Amino acid sequence: MIKSKDIAALILCAGRSARMGDFKPLLPLGRDNFIERVISLYRSVGIENIVVVCGHEAQRVIPELTRLGVKWVLNEHYDKGMFSSIQTGVNHLHGQDRAFFLHPADIPFVRPDTLQSLIAAFSTGEMDICRPCYQGKHGHPPLISLSLAAVIREFAEAGGMRTLLARYAEKSRDVQCNDSGILLDIDTPEDYEKALKNISPTHLFNS
C-alpha cells in the first residue's frame, strides 16, 4: 500500500480568474479561502509535499502560501494556459514521490475520502493514472504516476492535459466516488454565491 508520504499534491493557482472578476484563490470560503481549503484537504490525509504553481497575481498569493508553509513556484508563462503551469510544477516534484495529485485551486470541495480512494486504487500498481468519477463524469484531482513526468514535460500537442490523459486511457483507471465536489469548479460570481450557501456550520460542503 502506497502511503500518503509517497504522494505529492500539485495545486494550480496561476490563472487569471477572468470570468469571476476577482482572484479566486484568495476569495473567502467559510473560515478559509480557496487556496487554504485545498491545502488543508491534502494535509488532512497526511500529504505534506504540496507544490503550488503561481502566475497571475503572484504577489498577492505568495504571502498567503508563505503563511501556510507550503512550497510555491512561479510560472512566468501562465498566459500560455494551464498546461504550462502543470509542466512548471512537475519540474519541482521530488524524485522519490510515487505519484502526484493535480488540483486546480478553484475546485475546493473535494472530500478527503475521495483522495484516500484514489490512493488505494493507485496502490494496486496496475495503472499510471487514477481519475475520480461521479455519476459517470470525470473530475479532479487525477492521481498521476511520477513516471509520466518526463512525458508531461515534453508534451507539446494541442489540448494539453486533456489530450495526454486520452492518450494514456489504457493505463488509466476510473475510480467511482460519491463526491459531487470533484466536478464543482467555481468560475463565476454565480458559482461562488451558490458555493457560499452550501457551506455548513461545520465548514463542510453539503453535496
Q: Is residue 47 part of a domain?
A: yes
- Reported as half-sphere exposure (CB side, CA atoms, 13 A), residue 81 has a value of 8
State the virtual CA torsion across 157, 159, 160, 162 in degrees, nearest 10: -130
Domain count, the chain: 1
Model pTM above 0.85: yes
Secondary structure (DSSP) of 65-124: HHHHT-EEEE-TTGGG-HHHHHHHHHTTS-TT-SEEEEEETT-----HHHHHHHHHHHTT
Q: Is residue 155 part of a domain?
A: yes
Query: How far, in Å, are 12, 92, 190, 197 from residue 203 at the CA level?
Result: 23, 32, 20, 11
pLDDT digits (tens, 9 = 90+) for 34-70: 999 999 999 999 999 999 999 999 999 999 999 999 9
pLDDT digits (tens, 9 = 90+) for 24-41: 889 888 889 999 999 999
Q: How many CB atoms lie within 10 A of CB 33?
A: 19
Percent of the chain clearing pLDDT 90 (strictly above): 73
Q: Is residue 201 part of a domain?
A: no
Q: Is residue 205 part of a domain?
A: no
Domain that holds residue 62: 4-196
Q: Cell match 493507485: residue?
A: 122
Residue 173 pLDDT level (bands cut at 50, 70, 90) = very high
Q: Is residue 176 part of a domain?
A: yes
pLDDT at 134 over 50: yes
Say if residue 137 is exposed, middle or buried (CB neighbours under 10 Å; 0-12, 13-18, 19+). exposed
* Segment of 17-26, 28-37, 87-96, 168-177 carrying the highest mean pLDDT: 168-177
Q: Is residue 64 part of a domain?
A: yes
* In contact, 107 and 182? CB cutoff 8 Å: yes
Say if residue 15 is exposed, middle or buried (CB neighbours under 10 Å; 0-12, 13-18, 19+). buried
Q: Is residue 191 part of a domain?
A: yes
Q: Is residue 26 part of a domain?
A: yes
- CATH number for 62: 3.90.550.10
Q: How many residues does the chain have?
A: 207
